[in-house]
Structure 1
Amino acid sequence: MKYIKEVISNYSLTEKDIHNLIFMEKFMLEYADQFVDQFYEYMISKMPLPDSMSSDVIQKHQNLLKIWYKRFFEGKIDNKYLEYLVNIGNTHIKFNITQDMFNIMSNWTRQWFHEKIFQNVSDDIKRKELLFSMHKLMDINKDIISDAYYTTEIKKYSVFLSLRDFIISVSERIEFITQIIILSFLIFLTISAAVYFLFDIVVLMKMKPDFFIIKALSSLLMIWVLSELLYTEINIIKGAKFKISTFVGVALIAFVRDLLIMTLEHSGSIEKLLLIILSITVLGLVYWLVTITETKDKPRR
């Protein structure tokens, strides 16, 4: 199964797209019953239904179709939603709904959504934004459901594919658990550093103003480093791309902190001081180059 990180990257799904889906929910929910009725009218006119589609099954499928319609515009695009789409693909196999039938009705659904957006949104710019977001989510739905359909079909004939999917699934779950452990540890360190800083302020208040300011600043730098790592890890779990510049920046801040402390306390040899200055210069150059590369790469994603 594909995970939300991969889907966000592949389809360039943004927060703006989520807001657009929620915006459409306000008027699209009014057409839920109409959508289901017209969906079946068109489907029956274009293709014979499988023998497995009895009246009870059709009623059940209509209810499930209405649920899918409502969830489409909720804007809750996460791993749980992708798992829901995978189950839809598996359900199609269960009721002998062929992939050709699915493709035909997906195309009709896209056009139906397109028409309703045109009917309800008069502003050209806003309508264009909504259409882009709608097409993105339709492509995601079609991709995940089709992938689940074909994967399940192939598994009937390939034991190795089932084993491969099992190994990948276990590995991805272990990776997710590891990220949660790292996130929890970073939260603990950030809170501990903040509490320690508050207690340290009391001691620093008794020292000279220049010593107090620089020591407090160095402690704040460490808190900033931890908060930046925490922010980065949260974004990675949410699906953002791994940013090398963050970790280069962390190393750069660590050397800057050492330089501040050495300058204040007049400790350390000249060689060590020059080494730190050289390290700051090199890391600063690397940070600048990496940041430029990430900025240029962003529009392509």
Structure 2
Amino acid sequence: MKYIKEVISNYSLTEKDIQNLIFMEKFMLEYADQFVDEFYDYMILKIQLPDSMTPDVIQKHQNMLKIWYKRFYEGKIDNKYLEYLVNIGNTHIKFHITQDMFNIMSNWVRQWFHEKIFQNVSDDIKRKELLFSMHKLMDINKDIISDAYYTTEIKKYSVFLSLRDFIISVSERIEFVTQIIILSFLIFLTISAAVYFLFDMVVLMKMKPDFFIIKALSSLLMIWVLSELLYTEINIIKGAKFKISTFVGVALIAFVRDLLIMTLEHTGSIEKLLFIILSITVLGLVYWLVTITETKDKPRR
């Protein structure tokens, strides 16, 4: 199964596309019942439905189709949504809906969506923007659902594919659990550091102002580092790209903190001081270069 990071990259899916889908939800939900009725009118006319599509199965499929329709415009595009699409593909295979049948269905749905957007949006620029976003998500839906067909065909010829899928599935679950553990640990550390900082302030208030300011700033830098790591971990779980700049920034802050403490306490040799200053300079340069690279890698809107 493909994952949200890959899908976002392949289809240049942006936050603006998500906002466009949510915008269309306002008027498209009015047509949910009409969509299901006209869908089946067209399918019965165009396709010889397999014998497995009994009246009870058709009724269940119509309910599933309405759910799919509503979820399409919710704007919640994540790994759970992709897994939902894979299940749709597997359900099609279970009831002998072929790849050709699915392609005909997908083509009709795209045209129907296109027509409704034209009917409800008069502004040419806005309409074009909405159509681009709709077509992106239709392509994603067709891609993910079609994968179920390809996987089924390959499994007929490869006994190793099932084992590979099992290993990948287990590995992904382990990775997810690991990410949750890391996230929980970061939450605990961040809260602990904030509480310690508040207690530390009571003691520091009795000291000299210069000592108080530098010591407090040093503690705040550590809290900032933890909160930045926490923010990065949350985004990674949500499907964002791994950012090297975050960890370079953490190392940079650590050296800045050491420099503040050395300046305050007047400890350490000249060699150590020069080493810290050189490290800050090098890390600052690396951070700048990495940030520029990551900015250029962002998908254009």
* Range of TM-score over shorter length: over 0.9
Matches within 5 A, 1:101-120: 101-120=101-120
Aligned partners of 1:296 and 1:23: how far apart in 2?
A: 29
Question: In the alignment, what sits opposite 2:145?
Answer: 145
Q: Secondary structure at the match of 1:2?
A: coil
Question: Percent sequence identity over matched residues?
Answer: 95
Kindly state the Cα deviation for residue 300 of structure 1 after the two structures are TM-superposed.
6.2
Does the 8 Å contact 2:190/2:226 carry over to 1?
yes
Kindly state the Cα deviation for residue 144 of structure 1 after the two structures are TM-superposed.
0.9
CA distances 1:150-184 after superposition (whole Å, capped 9, x unpaired): 21333244220000010011111111111111111
CA distances 1:271-293 after superposition (whole Å, capped 9, x unpaired): 00000001011111111111111
Does the 8 Å contact 1:197/1:219 carry over to 2?
yes
Does the 8 Å contact 1:189/1:226 carry over to 2?
yes
Aligned partners of 2:215 and 2:124: how far apart in 1?
A: 56
Does the 8 Å contact 1:5/1:238 carry over to 2?
no
Q: Secondary structure at the match of 2:180?
A: helix
Kindly state the Cα deviation for residue 194 of structure 1 after the two structures are TM-superposed.
0.5
The normalised TM-score by structure 2 is 0.95
Aligned partners of 1:44 and 1:118: how far apart in 2?
A: 26
Aligned partners of 2:281 and 2:11: how far apart in 1?
A: 38
CA distances 1:16-47 after superposition (whole Å, capped 9, x unpaired): 22222122111111111211122122222223
Pairwise CA RMSD: 1.5
Does the 8 Å contact 1:8/1:239 carry over to 2?
no
Aligned partners of 1:260 and 1:48: how far apart in 2?
A: 76
Q: Secondary structure at the match of 1:229?
A: helix
Q: Secondary structure at the match of 1:96?
A: coil
Matches within 5 A, 1:174-253: 174-253=174-253
The normalised TM-score by structure 1 is 0.95
Aligned partners of 2:172 and 2:187: how far apart in 1?
A: 23
Q: Secondary structure at the match of 2:287?
A: helix
Question: In the alignment, what sits opposite 1:164?
Answer: 164
Q: Which moved more, 1:52-61 or 1:103-112?
A: 52-61
Aligned partners of 2:153 and 2:202: how far apart in 1?
A: 67
Q: Which moved more, 1:198-207 or 1:28-37?
A: 28-37
CA distances 1:242-272 after superposition (whole Å, capped 9, x unpaired): 1111111110111011011101111100000
Kindly state the Cα deviation for residue 198 of structure 1 after the two structures are TM-superposed.
0.3
Kindly state the Cα deviation for residue 238 of structure 1 after the two structures are TM-superposed.
0.7
Q: Which runs of 4+ in 1 moved over 4 A?
A: none
Q: Secondary structure at the match of 1:254?
A: helix
Aligned partners of 1:203 and 1:59: how far apart in 2?
A: 70
Does the 8 Å contact 2:78/2:239 carry over to 1?
no
Q: Which runs of 5+ in 1 are unaligned?
A: none
Does the 8 Å contact 2:252/2:280 carry over to 1?
yes
Question: In the alignment, what sits opposite 2:15?
Answer: 15
Kindly state the Cα deviation for residue 60 of structure 1 after the two structures are TM-superposed.
2.3
Q: Which moved more, 1:188-197 or 1:115-124?
A: 115-124
CA distances 1:122-164 after superposition (whole Å, capped 9, x unpaired): 1223222221221121111111110012213332442200000
Q: Which runs of 5+ in 2 are unaligned?
A: none
